[in-house]
Amino acid sequence: MTSSETRVARQPRVGLFATCLVDLFRPSVGFASVKLLQDAGCEVHVPVAQTCCGQPTYNTGDRADTREIAEQVIEAFEGFDFIVAPSGSCAAMLKKHYPGLFKGNADWEDRAQRFSDKCHELVSFLADVMMVRDTGAALSARVTYHDSCSGLRELGVQQQPRKLLANVGGLELHEMKDSDVCCGFGGTFCVKYSDISNAIVTKKVGNIDASGADMLLAGDVGCLMNMAGKLKRLGSDVEVRHVAEVLAGMTDQPPIAGSGK
Protein backbone atom coordinates (compact mmCIF):
# COMPACT_ATOMS: atom_id res chain seq x y z
CA MET A 1 0.00 0.00 0.00
CA THR A 2 1.30 3.38 -0.90
CA SER A 3 -1.53 5.28 0.70
CA SER A 4 0.29 5.23 4.03
CA GLU A 5 2.96 7.51 2.53
CA THR A 6 0.40 10.26 2.11
CA ARG A 7 -0.73 10.00 5.70
CA VAL A 8 0.97 11.34 8.77
CA ALA A 9 4.59 10.43 9.25
CA ARG A 10 3.79 7.75 11.79
CA GLN A 11 0.84 5.41 11.92
CA PRO A 12 -1.39 6.11 14.91
CA ARG A 13 -0.93 3.42 17.53
CA VAL A 14 -4.33 2.12 18.57
CA GLY A 15 -5.03 -0.03 21.62
CA LEU A 16 -8.03 -2.22 20.88
CA PHE A 17 -10.26 -2.61 23.92
CA ALA A 18 -12.10 -5.70 22.70
CA THR A 19 -14.80 -5.60 25.44
CA CYS A 20 -15.67 -8.68 27.46
CA LEU A 21 -18.60 -9.74 25.29
CA VAL A 22 -16.59 -9.59 22.05
CA ASP A 23 -13.68 -11.37 23.73
CA LEU A 24 -15.85 -14.12 25.19
CA PHE A 25 -18.76 -14.50 22.77
CA ARG A 26 -17.92 -12.96 19.43
CA PRO A 27 -14.17 -12.94 18.63
CA SER A 28 -14.94 -12.32 14.95
CA VAL A 29 -15.95 -8.76 15.89
CA GLY A 30 -12.47 -8.33 17.36
CA PHE A 31 -10.83 -9.46 14.14
CA ALA A 32 -13.17 -7.32 12.05
CA SER A 33 -12.21 -4.34 14.21
CA VAL A 34 -8.51 -5.07 13.73
CA LYS A 35 -8.96 -5.25 9.97
CA LEU A 36 -10.95 -2.02 9.79
CA LEU A 37 -8.41 -0.18 11.93
CA GLN A 38 -5.44 -1.53 9.98
CA ASP A 39 -7.08 -0.70 6.65
CA ALA A 40 -7.61 2.82 7.97
CA GLY A 41 -3.87 3.08 8.57
CA CYS A 42 -3.61 2.27 12.27
CA GLU A 43 -1.08 0.11 14.01
CA VAL A 44 -3.25 -2.12 16.22
CA HIS A 45 -2.29 -3.55 19.60
CA VAL A 46 -4.32 -5.81 21.86
CA PRO A 47 -3.03 -5.57 25.45
CA VAL A 48 -3.48 -8.86 27.26
CA ALA A 49 -4.28 -7.22 30.62
CA GLN A 50 -7.85 -6.41 29.56
CA THR A 51 -10.97 -7.94 31.00
CA CYS A 52 -14.01 -5.69 31.44
CA CYS A 53 -14.62 -1.93 31.34
CA GLY A 54 -16.37 -1.99 34.72
CA GLN A 55 -19.94 -1.24 33.66
CA PRO A 56 -21.50 -4.18 35.53
CA THR A 57 -20.01 -3.06 38.84
CA TYR A 58 -20.54 0.64 38.09
CA ASN A 59 -24.22 0.22 37.34
CA THR A 60 -24.74 -1.98 40.39
CA GLY A 61 -23.43 0.82 42.59
CA ASP A 62 -20.09 -0.84 43.41
CA ARG A 63 -17.85 2.18 42.98
CA ALA A 64 -14.76 0.81 44.73
CA ASP A 65 -14.41 -2.21 42.44
CA THR A 66 -15.20 -0.05 39.42
CA ARG A 67 -12.38 2.32 40.31
CA GLU A 68 -9.90 -0.55 40.60
CA ILE A 69 -11.00 -1.95 37.24
CA ALA A 70 -10.71 1.52 35.69
CA GLU A 71 -7.17 1.93 37.05
CA GLN A 72 -6.24 -1.38 35.48
CA VAL A 73 -7.67 -0.38 32.09
CA ILE A 74 -5.98 3.02 32.19
CA GLU A 75 -2.61 1.50 33.09
CA ALA A 76 -2.87 -1.02 30.25
CA PHE A 77 -4.01 1.46 27.60
CA GLU A 78 -2.83 5.00 28.38
CA GLY A 79 0.34 4.61 26.30
CA PHE A 80 -1.55 4.44 23.00
CA ASP A 81 -2.46 7.35 20.74
CA PHE A 82 -6.06 6.13 20.70
CA ILE A 83 -8.11 3.55 22.55
CA VAL A 84 -10.89 2.06 20.44
CA ALA A 85 -13.73 -0.27 21.46
CA PRO A 86 -16.28 -1.98 19.18
CA SER A 87 -19.08 -1.00 21.54
CA GLY A 88 -20.86 2.28 22.24
CA SER A 89 -21.58 1.48 25.85
CA CYS A 90 -18.05 0.32 26.77
CA ALA A 91 -16.51 3.25 24.89
CA ALA A 92 -18.88 5.64 26.70
CA MET A 93 -17.85 4.07 30.01
CA LEU A 94 -14.18 4.71 29.19
CA LYS A 95 -14.73 8.13 27.71
CA LYS A 96 -17.55 9.64 29.79
CA HIS A 97 -17.51 7.93 33.15
CA TYR A 98 -13.90 7.13 34.10
CA PRO A 99 -12.78 10.64 35.14
CA GLY A 100 -15.74 11.02 37.52
CA LEU A 101 -14.69 7.87 39.36
CA PHE A 102 -11.59 9.65 40.62
CA LYS A 103 -13.21 12.83 41.95
CA GLY A 104 -11.15 14.11 44.85
CA ASN A 105 -7.96 12.41 43.67
CA ALA A 106 -6.41 15.06 41.42
CA ASP A 107 -3.57 12.90 40.05
CA TRP A 108 -5.81 10.06 38.99
CA GLU A 109 -8.54 12.38 37.79
CA ASP A 110 -6.09 14.12 35.45
CA ARG A 111 -4.70 10.84 34.30
CA ALA A 112 -8.19 9.42 33.68
CA GLN A 113 -9.17 12.57 31.77
CA ARG A 114 -6.11 12.33 29.49
CA PHE A 115 -6.96 8.68 28.91
CA SER A 116 -10.63 9.38 28.26
CA ASP A 117 -9.84 12.05 25.70
CA LYS A 118 -8.21 9.35 23.56
CA CYS A 119 -11.07 6.82 23.76
CA HIS A 120 -13.46 6.21 20.86
CA GLU A 121 -16.19 3.90 19.69
CA LEU A 122 -14.98 1.96 16.64
CA VAL A 123 -17.29 3.15 13.86
CA SER A 124 -17.26 6.81 14.86
CA PHE A 125 -13.47 6.62 15.20
CA LEU A 126 -13.18 5.32 11.65
CA ALA A 127 -15.55 7.95 10.26
CA ASP A 128 -14.72 11.01 12.38
CA VAL A 129 -11.03 10.59 13.23
CA MET A 130 -9.59 8.43 10.47
CA MET A 131 -11.92 10.02 7.89
CA VAL A 132 -12.86 6.69 6.36
CA ARG A 133 -15.67 7.05 3.79
CA ASP A 134 -15.71 3.62 2.20
CA THR A 135 -14.41 0.43 3.78
CA GLY A 136 -14.39 -1.35 0.43
CA ALA A 137 -16.77 -4.08 1.60
CA ALA A 138 -19.59 -5.53 -0.44
CA LEU A 139 -22.57 -7.55 0.72
CA SER A 140 -25.82 -8.26 -1.00
CA ALA A 141 -28.30 -7.89 1.84
CA ARG A 142 -31.29 -5.93 3.08
CA VAL A 143 -30.16 -4.70 6.49
CA THR A 144 -31.71 -2.69 9.30
CA TYR A 145 -29.64 -0.84 11.91
CA HIS A 146 -30.43 -0.54 15.63
CA ASP A 147 -29.01 2.50 17.43
CA SER A 148 -27.67 1.22 20.73
CA CYS A 149 -28.47 3.70 23.50
CA SER A 150 -25.09 4.62 24.97
CA GLY A 151 -23.39 5.03 21.62
CA LEU A 152 -26.27 7.14 20.33
CA ARG A 153 -26.97 9.35 23.32
CA GLU A 154 -23.61 9.53 25.08
CA LEU A 155 -21.30 9.53 22.05
CA GLY A 156 -23.46 10.73 19.15
CA VAL A 157 -23.00 7.60 17.05
CA GLN A 158 -25.82 7.77 14.52
CA GLN A 159 -24.87 8.96 11.04
CA GLN A 160 -21.39 7.40 10.96
CA PRO A 161 -22.47 3.74 10.66
CA ARG A 162 -25.20 4.67 8.19
CA LYS A 163 -22.79 6.60 5.96
CA LEU A 164 -20.29 3.75 5.93
CA LEU A 165 -23.01 1.17 5.31
CA ALA A 166 -24.30 3.27 2.40
CA ASN A 167 -20.99 2.62 0.65
CA VAL A 168 -21.07 -1.15 1.12
CA GLY A 169 -21.73 -2.45 -2.40
CA GLY A 170 -25.04 -4.26 -2.81
CA LEU A 171 -26.29 -3.39 0.66
CA GLU A 172 -29.73 -1.83 1.14
CA LEU A 173 -30.57 -0.11 4.44
CA HIS A 174 -34.20 -0.43 5.53
CA GLU A 175 -34.78 1.72 8.60
CA MET A 176 -37.01 0.19 11.24
CA LYS A 177 -39.55 2.16 13.27
CA ASP A 178 -38.05 3.48 16.52
CA SER A 179 -34.50 2.39 15.71
CA ASP A 180 -33.34 4.71 18.49
CA VAL A 181 -35.45 3.08 21.22
CA CYS A 182 -33.79 0.77 23.73
CA CYS A 183 -33.84 -2.99 22.99
CA GLY A 184 -34.34 -3.84 26.67
CA PHE A 185 -30.85 -5.23 27.28
CA GLY A 186 -29.48 -2.74 29.81
CA GLY A 187 -26.69 -5.00 31.13
CA THR A 188 -27.84 -6.74 34.30
CA PHE A 189 -31.29 -5.15 33.84
CA CYS A 190 -32.25 -7.89 31.38
CA VAL A 191 -31.87 -10.61 34.00
CA LYS A 192 -32.92 -8.58 37.06
CA TYR A 193 -36.10 -7.37 35.36
CA SER A 194 -36.49 -10.21 32.92
CA ASP A 195 -40.22 -9.73 32.26
CA ILE A 196 -39.93 -6.01 31.55
CA SER A 197 -36.88 -6.57 29.38
CA ASN A 198 -38.86 -9.17 27.47
CA ALA A 199 -41.70 -6.72 26.83
CA ILE A 200 -39.23 -4.16 25.48
CA VAL A 201 -37.32 -6.57 23.25
CA THR A 202 -40.58 -8.05 21.96
CA LYS A 203 -41.59 -4.62 20.71
CA LYS A 204 -38.13 -4.13 19.18
CA VAL A 205 -38.25 -7.48 17.39
CA GLY A 206 -41.66 -6.56 15.96
CA ASN A 207 -40.13 -3.42 14.47
CA ILE A 208 -37.19 -5.39 13.08
CA ASP A 209 -39.54 -7.84 11.38
CA ALA A 210 -41.73 -5.06 10.00
CA SER A 211 -38.71 -3.36 8.40
CA GLY A 212 -38.51 -6.12 5.82
CA ALA A 213 -34.79 -6.52 6.38
CA ASP A 214 -33.13 -9.91 6.41
CA MET A 215 -30.18 -8.80 8.53
CA LEU A 216 -30.01 -6.82 11.77
CA LEU A 217 -26.89 -4.78 12.57
CA ALA A 218 -25.85 -2.77 15.62
CA GLY A 219 -22.64 -1.67 17.27
CA ASP A 220 -22.96 -3.41 20.63
CA VAL A 221 -22.73 -7.16 21.17
CA GLY A 222 -24.86 -7.00 24.35
CA CYS A 223 -27.84 -5.53 22.52
CA LEU A 224 -27.24 -7.89 19.59
CA MET A 225 -27.25 -10.98 21.82
CA ASN A 226 -30.49 -9.80 23.40
CA MET A 227 -32.22 -9.14 20.09
CA ALA A 228 -30.77 -12.28 18.45
CA GLY A 229 -31.86 -14.39 21.42
CA LYS A 230 -35.42 -13.09 21.12
CA LEU A 231 -35.55 -13.33 17.32
CA LYS A 232 -34.41 -16.95 17.45
CA ARG A 233 -36.78 -17.83 20.29
CA LEU A 234 -39.59 -16.57 18.06
CA GLY A 235 -38.30 -18.54 15.10
CA SER A 236 -37.21 -15.57 12.98
CA ASP A 237 -34.77 -16.00 10.09
CA VAL A 238 -33.27 -12.54 10.44
CA GLU A 239 -29.48 -12.77 10.63
CA VAL A 240 -27.85 -10.79 13.42
CA ARG A 241 -24.35 -9.32 13.15
CA HIS A 242 -22.17 -6.57 14.54
CA VAL A 243 -21.85 -3.71 12.07
CA ALA A 244 -18.05 -4.12 12.06
CA GLU A 245 -18.35 -7.60 10.53
CA VAL A 246 -20.20 -6.18 7.54
CA LEU A 247 -17.99 -3.10 7.16
CA ALA A 248 -14.90 -5.33 7.25
CA GLY A 249 -16.39 -7.72 4.70
CA MET A 250 -16.01 -10.55 7.22
CA THR A 251 -19.36 -12.30 7.21
CA ASP A 252 -18.02 -15.81 6.73
CA GLN A 253 -18.65 -16.70 10.41
CA PRO A 254 -22.19 -17.86 11.20
CA PRO A 255 -24.34 -15.00 12.52
CA ILE A 256 -24.98 -14.44 16.24
CA ALA A 257 -27.12 -17.30 17.61
CA GLY A 258 -27.39 -18.75 14.12
CA SER A 259 -25.91 -21.72 12.32
CA GLY A 260 -25.35 -19.87 9.08
CA LYS A 261 -26.41 -20.77 5.60
The span of 16-24, 110-118, 130-138, 165-173 binding another protein (CB under 8 A) equals 16-24
Residue 23 or 172: which CB sits closer to another protein? 23
Asked if 95 touches another protein (CB under 8 A), the answer is: no
Which positions from 62 through 91 interact with another protein, judged by CB under 8 A?
62-63, 65, 68-69, 72
Using the rule CB under 8 A, which residue among 37, 137, 200, 213 binds another protein?
200
Residue 48 or 106: which CB sits closer to another protein? 48
Asked if 201 touches another protein (CB under 8 A), the answer is: yes
> How many chain residues are in contact with another protein, going by CB under 8 A?
69
Asked if 194 touches another protein (CB under 8 A), the answer is: yes
The closest of 36, 24, 17, 23 to 115, measured between CA atoms, is: 17
Cα–Cα distance for residue pair 246/95, rounded to 1 Å: 25
Sheet harboring 13-16: ordered strands across?
43-45, 13-16, 82-85, 119-121
Residue 45 or 133: which CB sits closer to another protein? 45
Output the CA angle 218-89-37, nearest 5 degrees: 65
Using the rule CB under 8 A, which residue among 186, 236, 248, 251 binds another protein?
186
Asked if 37 touches another protein (CB under 8 A), the answer is: no
Give, in order, the Cα–Cα distances in Å from 157 to each of 39, 146, 193, 238, 242. Answer: 21, 11, 27, 24, 14
The span of 110-118, 122-130, 131-139, 192-200 binding another protein (CB under 8 A) equals 192-200
The closest of 7, 26, 96, 23 to 254, measured between CA atoms, is: 26
Give the CB-side neighbour count of residue 120, counting CA atoms within 13 A: 20
Using the rule CB under 8 A, which residue among 39, 40, 58, 168 binds another protein?
58
DSSP assigned state of 48: T
Tell me the residue length of the chain.
261
Q: How far is the CB of 187 from another protein (least distance, A)?
A: 8
Cα–Cα distance for residue pair 183/187, rounded to 1 Å: 11
Asked if 226 touches another protein (CB under 8 A), the answer is: yes
CB 224 within 8 A of CB 240: yes
Cα–Cα distance for residue pair 84/16, rounded to 1 Å: 5
Amino acid at 115: F
Asked if 56 touches another protein (CB under 8 A), the answer is: yes
Q: How far is the CB of 210 from another protein (least distance, A)?
A: 15
Amino acid at 152: L
Q: How far is the CB of 26 from another protein (least distance, A)?
A: 6
Asked if 175 touches another protein (CB under 8 A), the answer is: no
Amino acid at 69: I
Site residues (CB under 8 A) for another protein? 18, 20, 22-31, 34, 46, 48-52, 54, 56-63, 65, 68-69, 72, 149-150, 153-154, 181-182, 184-201, 225-226, 228-230, 232-233, 253-254, 256-259
